[in-house]
């Protein structure tokens, strides 16, 4: 991690803040590298975070069995592992609607009048979950009042330029340089 600031003491304080937030959200091991630039005189705050590769997606077939009953026009899902049950319910509610999803027991879900295809349904995406946590961390780290934000993220790098004024093109360019630095490190 590199924190760039005109004030060495300020850089130390920001490094502590960043480490504490990453630790609190339990993502410090998932961060491969990071660049931070802060200058309260301007005022500008730039951050670029490179995240590690994550485990593979979890598909519905990984922890359930399901079958379609043509007579009843419903799908019965049998849960083998409850770990991803909340994720599965949330996903099913999104694609089918809450009113069509019933859970008669901990290990059974019934979908009435199904319309969606369940084959290879991604129930949990670790990469998206990690990105969500990193965005949460960044918004906790941003200085108070810095609400003008440009997201410059790409691939496995999450990057933002922020200020409480208008974003200058030079700051956006500096943030893009930080991204390139991460790619080449």
DSSP H or E segment with residue 124: strand 122-124
Are 117 and 65 in the same domain? Answer: yes
- Tell me, what's the pLDDT at 40? 86
* 123 three-class SS: strand
In what order do the strands lie in the sheet containing 101-105?
Answer: 64-69, 74-79, 108-112, 101-105
Rounded distance between C-alpha atoms, residue 91 and residue 42, angstroms = 44
Are 23 and 8 in the same domain? Answer: yes
Using alpha carbons, list the distances in angstroms from residue 74 to 60, 78, 88, 113, 120.
17, 13, 17, 5, 18
Q: For each of the chain's 185 residues, which pLDDT tens digit applies?
A: 788 888 888 889 889 999 999 999 999 999 999 999 999 889 999 999 999 999 999 999 999 999 999 899 999 999 999 999 999 999 999 999 999 999 999 999 999 999 999 999 999 999 999 999 999 999 999 998 899 999 999 999 999 999 998 999 999 999 999 999 999 98
Rounded distance between C-alpha atoms, residue 80 and residue 65, angstroms = 8
Enter the pTM of the model: 0.82
Rounded distance between C-alpha atoms, residue 142 and residue 123, angstroms = 31
Beta bridge partners of 2: 35
Rounded distance between C-alpha atoms, residue 30 and residue 9, angstroms = 27
The residue out of 124, 145, 162 marking a domain boundary is 124
Are 95 and 73 in the same domain? Answer: yes
H-type helices in 25-98, by residue range?
A: 85-96
Rounded distance between C-alpha atoms, residue 89 and residue 103, angstroms = 9
Are 120 and 87 in the same domain? Answer: yes
Are 38 and 63 in the same domain? Answer: no
The residue out of 124, 158, 176 marking a domain boundary is 124
* 180 three-class SS: helix
Are 19 and 67 in the same domain? Answer: no
Domain span holding position 64: 58-124
Say if CB 137 and CB 27 are below 8 A apart.
Answer: yes
Rounded distance between C-alpha atoms, residue 36 and residue 49, angstroms = 9
């Amino acid at each position: 991690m590199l924190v760039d600031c005109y004030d060495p003491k300020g850089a130390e304080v920001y490094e502590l803040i960043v480490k504490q937030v990453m630790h609190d959200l339990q993502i410090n091991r998932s961060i491969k590298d990071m660049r931070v630039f802060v200058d309260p005189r301007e005022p500008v705050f730039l951050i670029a975070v490179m995240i590690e590769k994550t485990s593979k997606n979890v598909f519905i077939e990984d922890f359930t069995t399901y079958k379609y009953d043509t007579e009843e026009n419903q799908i019965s899902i049998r849960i083998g592992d409850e770990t991803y049950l909340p994720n599965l319910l949330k996903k099913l509610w999104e694609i089918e609607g809450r009113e069509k999803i019933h859970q008669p027991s901990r290990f059974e879900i019934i979908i009435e009048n199904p319309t969606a295809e369940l084959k290879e349904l991604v129930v949990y995406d670790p990469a998206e979950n990690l990105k969500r946590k990193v965005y949460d961390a960044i918004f906790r780290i941003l200085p108070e009042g810095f609400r003008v934000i440009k997201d410059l993220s790409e691939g496995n790098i999450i990057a933002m330029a922020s200020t409480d004024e208008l974003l200058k093109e030079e700051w956006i360019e500096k943030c893009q340089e930080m991204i390139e630095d991460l790619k080449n490190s």
